[in-house]
Amino acid sequence: MNIAVLLKNSARSFAARPAISVGTDLYATYGEFGERAARLAAAFRAQGLNKGDRVGIAMGNAPEYLEIMFAIWHAGLCAVPMNAKLHPREIAYALTNSGARWFFTSNELAGKLSSLLDDVPSLERIVIAGSDDYRAMFDTPPMEMADADDLDPAWIFYTSGTTGRPKGATLTHRSLRGMMLRYLSDVDSLTEYDCMLHVAPLSHASGLESLPHIAKASHHVIPKSGGFDAAEVADLTHHYNNMMFFAVPTIIGRLVNDPAFANANLDAIKTIFYGGAPMYFSDLKRALAKFGPKLVGGYGQGEAPCAISVLPKHLHANVDNPRYEEQLSSVGTAFTGTEFRIVGEDGKDLPAGEIGEIVVRSDVCMAGYWENPEATANALRDGWLYTGDVGCVSKDGYLSLKDRSKDLIISGGMNIYPREIEEVLLLHPAVLEVSVVGRPHREWGEDVVAFVVAKPGQSMERDELDQICLDNIARFKRPKDYFFIEELPKSDYGKILKRELRKRFD
């Protein structure tokens, strides 16, 4: 079944309901949204695209983004969304690898991406969203939604490429439908009176999580800034109710601490779904104190988006539970219809509490990496996705993340998990952010170092941090060095870039 049926059904049943707004300005009702996607899809097919062709998208959050994605699916094509802030060479690689024939971008990016027509052999056309060329496509009579098999590619999600060239995780119509149903089952119930605010990039989780909201005809709001601005979010809480948004932990931290958010109407916020990076327990407690039990934690990855494990609202609120802190420090239990295990290097199951690689099985998992059979064979084995993430599971099924396997520090033959040390260092009242990495060491292989950012106007001494570590973790895990810096390097999605910190020791 074509995932575009989500919009088709909502456009039919809720035609007059608001579908997309920019700030407080209505862009399209659901009837108009469905009509625009069907006309755009017809233009794609009339102008030479065929079933299964790939279409690239790299642009900031904008109302056109949603209608382009659904038009691609409506026409039976495959979307290749990319981070708009990637270097042109990185965008060219994804377009070349996927064999994309068309590419949508924004007017702001068109200049620096114009050379793609020469650099990407398969690329035939670049369309600027909102241009005269784009608007002319809506003169095409709408087409009926194309048929799609469950295993047809729908979304090729390019990984960050931290260990070489990015790989295209191929998500099928079944993958997207499975993710959408799990959201509705385990994250939030939705109606046409709900609202989704897109402060995170539509090329990633915010776009994926638009699907359950479109399925239930919820209102999508694109900030006029196109992204995250604390003052703007605060203002929008006075215009919309039943608001949900996806945020990485760094964005939640900024909402908690930014004075510009102080006048927000918190009653308008229904749900904050966080993920994409570790949420440290101390930060989570501050967020709960600010927002109350409106938070939902999710663990997933591009190969199994947003739907491996979930920590729902009621667990965030269950303060009388004697295991409250333990459970809140986890990433929750398996999503409905999802199975995960912890395995050792031999692929065999490890007992509860032992640390190993997380492997997962569900219909959300990717079909494989696009045009990369070797990487596919390594990641998908006997029906299981090997995530590359390291963790452990309690006897009652709560999953705790330790680190990505590449972030593991091995010092003197001992496995050291940076997240454990980071959690301890954040106990210091003056620490705003911290990242722990391994530094090459001639004798031990690696030693532990910490990069620390102090809260504004505050400071700390190395001895104070040492003492907190000695009071809470084994001596061999204590950082051998501390680097006090003004800001940690982060990706466009707010993830701390440990690889940039490790480069200092190359």
The answer to whether residue 146 scores a pLDDT higher than 50 is yes
pLDDT tier, 222 (very low <50, low <70, confident <90, very high otherwise): very high
Share of the chain above pLDDT 70, in %: 97
The residues that bridge with 174 in the sheet, in sequence order, are none
* Whether residues 350 and 427 fall in one domain: no
Share of the chain above pLDDT 90, in %: 79
Contact 449, 437 (CB under 8 A): yes
The answer to whether residue 88 scores a pLDDT higher than 90 is no
Is 34 within a domain? yes
The helix-helix angle for 30-46 and 5-13 (nearest 10°) equals 140
* Whether residues 116 and 248 fall in one domain: yes
End-to-end alpha-carbon separation of the chain, Å?
50
Task: Measure the CA–CA gap between 438 and 450, rounded to whole angstroms.
Answer: 9
Residue 473 is predicted with a pLDDT of: 81
Is 257 within a domain? yes
Is 398 within a domain? no
Is 400 within a domain? no
The answer to whether residue 7 scores a pLDDT higher than 80 is yes
Number of domains in the chain: 2
* CATH number of the domain where residue 475 is located: 3.30.300.30
Q: Which domain holds residue 150?
A: 5-393
Q: In Å, how far are 159, 372, 388, 499 from 163, measured between CA atoms?
A: 10, 15, 12, 10
The answer to whether residue 163 scores a pLDDT higher than 60 is no
Mean pLDDT of 466-482: 89
Is 403 within a domain? no
Q: Which of 351, 366, 393 is the last residue of a domain?
A: 393
Secondary structure letter of residue 362 according to DSSP: S
Q: Which of 367, 393, 419 is the last residue of a domain?
A: 393
Helix (H) or strand (E) holding 223, with range, is none
The answer to whether residue 162 scores a pLDDT higher than 70 is no
Task: Measure the CA–CA gap between 268 and 245, rounded to whole angstroms.
Answer: 12
Contact 196, 220 (CB under 8 A): yes
The answer to whether residue 113 scores a pLDDT higher than 80 is yes
Task: Measure the CA–CA gap between 386 and 381, rounded to whole angstroms.
Answer: 7
3-state secondary structure of 163: coil
Residue 174 is predicted with a pLDDT of: 98
Tokens matching residue 8: 């088709």
φ, ψ for residue 491 (rounded to 5)?
A: -75, 175
Is 401 within a domain? no
Contact 198, 244 (CB under 8 A): no
pTM: 0.84
* Whether residues 354 and 486 fall in one domain: no
Residue 87 is predicted with a pLDDT of: 79
* Whether residues 440 and 386 fall in one domain: no
pLDDT tier, 461 (very low <50, low <70, confident <90, very high otherwise): very high
Q: Which of 28-42, 173-187, 275-289, 454-468 has the lowest mean pLDDT?
A: 275-289
* Whether residues 281 and 162 fall in one domain: yes
Mean pLDDT of 398-411: 80
Is 209 within a domain? yes
Backbone conformation region of residue 53, classed left if phi is above 0, alpha if psi is from -120 to 50, else beta: beta
* Whether residues 352 and 481 fall in one domain: no
Is 405 within a domain? no
Tokens matching residue 181: 């149903």
Q: In Å, how far are 169, 302, 369, 496 from 372, measured between CA atoms?
A: 10, 16, 5, 28
Mean pLDDT of 54-70: 97
* Whether residues 277 and 305 fall in one domain: yes
* Whether residues 155 and 289 fall in one domain: yes
The answer to whether residue 161 scores a pLDDT higher than 60 is no
pLDDT tier, 65 (very low <50, low <70, confident <90, very high otherwise): very high
* CATH number of the domain where residue 270 is located: 3.40.50.12780
* Whether residues 281 and 323 fall in one domain: yes
Tokens matching residue 329: 């420090």
pLDDT digits (tens, 9 = 90+) for 341-371: 999 989 999 999 999 999 999 999 999 999 9
Q: Is 314 exposed, middle or buried (0-12, 13-18, 19+ CB in 10 A)?
A: exposed
The answer to whether residue 2 scores a pLDDT higher than 60 is yes
Q: Which of 338, 366, 393 is the last residue of a domain?
A: 393
* Whether residues 415 and 386 fall in one domain: no
* Whether residues 172 and 276 fall in one domain: yes
* Whether residues 124 and 216 fall in one domain: yes
Q: Is 353 exposed, middle or buried (0-12, 13-18, 19+ CB in 10 A)?
A: exposed
Q: Which of 213-227, 375-389, 394-408 has the lowest mean pLDDT?
A: 394-408
